[in-house]
Amino acid sequence: MIVLRDEKRIAQLARIGQIVSLVGLLALVAGLLFIFLGENPYLFLYQLVALVVGFGLSQVGLYLSHRYLRRPRLDQVLDKAAGKFARKDGRLYHYLLPASHVLLLPVGVVVLVAKYQGGRITAKGDHWTQGGIGMRRFFGREGLGNPTREAEAQAAKMVAMIREAAPNAADVPVLPVIVFTTPNLDNLDVKESRIPATHAAKLSAVLRQQTQALKPLPKADYDALRAAFDAKAAHLIEETVNADAE
């Protein structure tokens, strides 16, 4: 499997995550220190602004840190999990296309929606719940949200891109799959999810199940998709070619 990702971009976003988190923490601390301003009539306003800014920046830093700083990163987990299925003929694109993680196969396109959240996760149709994390939900935890809507949104973005960049392949199957990457989940009950969902350890089986009934794409369609996707990674491919030449 060929994996394409922009390591420089990932490093930059990781660094931004660190800086934003630090600034957010400093803003929260500043809000506490404002109490020493005494009888300043604007004290409450200063504290409120510091709280809002600090909390907002902390959430942004948290979002970036979970995606670009934690080890293994989401994309690294997907490399291993998807590679078991698409070892020979897959092309995996990370943070290069409208969807964060996209697997191009000879039979279609798979949008992998990676979720790191833990606890007891249950899905029934489009309804998701997360339990078993107690007070951790209030400290350094990004909410689970609605993976179904997230997967549909990312798949829709890929469909729009394909229609624009490779219109001849507009009817290619675009399959969203939700993948949980946390090594040890308390409980993952996603059999009733409307969109296929699984743990990374079982991704290979789910991909096989989702694609086994699909016919190989016409060569022209596959080549058009690959060209459109590779165009977004042209700088990476060029760097690889130059490195090989040296």
For residue range 97-112, what is the model confidence (pLDDT) as tens digits? 999 999 999 999 999 9
3-state DSSP assignment of residue 135? helix
pLDDT of residue 3: 94
Residue 221, token pair as written in the block: 């369609």
Contact 64, 17 (CB under 8 A): yes
Phi-psi region of 68 (alpha: psi -120 to 50; beta: other; left: phi over 0): alpha
Higher-scoring residue by pLDDT: 16, 47: 16
CA–CA gap between residue 138 and residue 128 (Å, rounded): 18
The burial of 69, by beta-carbon neighbours within 10 Å (0-12 exposed, 13-18 middle, 19 or more buried), is given as: middle
> Lowest-confidence range among 91-105, 114-128, 145-159, 166-180?
114-128
Query: Average pLDDT, stretch 143-154?
Result: 93
Q: Which residue has the tokens 């022209």?
A: 220
Percent of the chain with pLDDT over 70: 90
Contact 28, 58 (CB under 8 A): yes
Contact 78, 101 (CB under 8 A): yes
Query: Average pLDDT, stretch 49-77?
Result: 88
Task: Tell me which range, 25-39, 185-199, 214-228, is most confidently predicted by mean pLDDT.
Answer: 214-228
Residue 66: which of 158, 145, 129 has the closest Cα?
145
Confidence of residue 119 (pLDDT cuts 50, 70, 90): confident
pLDDT greater than 70 at residue 141: no
Query: Average pLDDT, stretch 109-122?
Result: 91
pLDDT of residue 240: 45
> What integer best gives the mean pLDDT of the chain?
87
CA–CA gap between residue 48 and residue 31 (Å, rounded): 7
pLDDT of residue 7: 87
pLDDT of residue 186: 67
Confidence of residue 90 (pLDDT cuts 50, 70, 90): very high
Model pTM? 0.84
pLDDT of residue 117: 86
Q: Which residue has the tokens 């309804």?
A: 127
pLDDT of residue 144: 86
pLDDT of residue 246: 37
Residue 46: which of 57, 35, 59, 58 has the closest Cα?
35
pLDDT greater than 60 at residue 245: no
Kindly state the helix (H) or strand (E) to which residue 142 belongs, with its residue range. Answer: none
Query: Average pLDDT, stretch 36-55?
Result: 81
158-171 pLDDT per residue, tens: 999 999 999 999 99
CA–CA gap between residue 109 and residue 174 (Å, rounded): 5
Residue 31: which of 20, 42, 16 has the closest Cα?
42
Higher-scoring residue by pLDDT: 135, 95: 95
User: Strand locations in the chain, DSSP E?
Assistant: 2-5, 91-94, 101-105, 108-115, 120-125, 127-131, 174-180, 187-193, 197-199
Query: Average pLDDT, stretch 47-67?
Result: 87
pLDDT of residue 138: 47
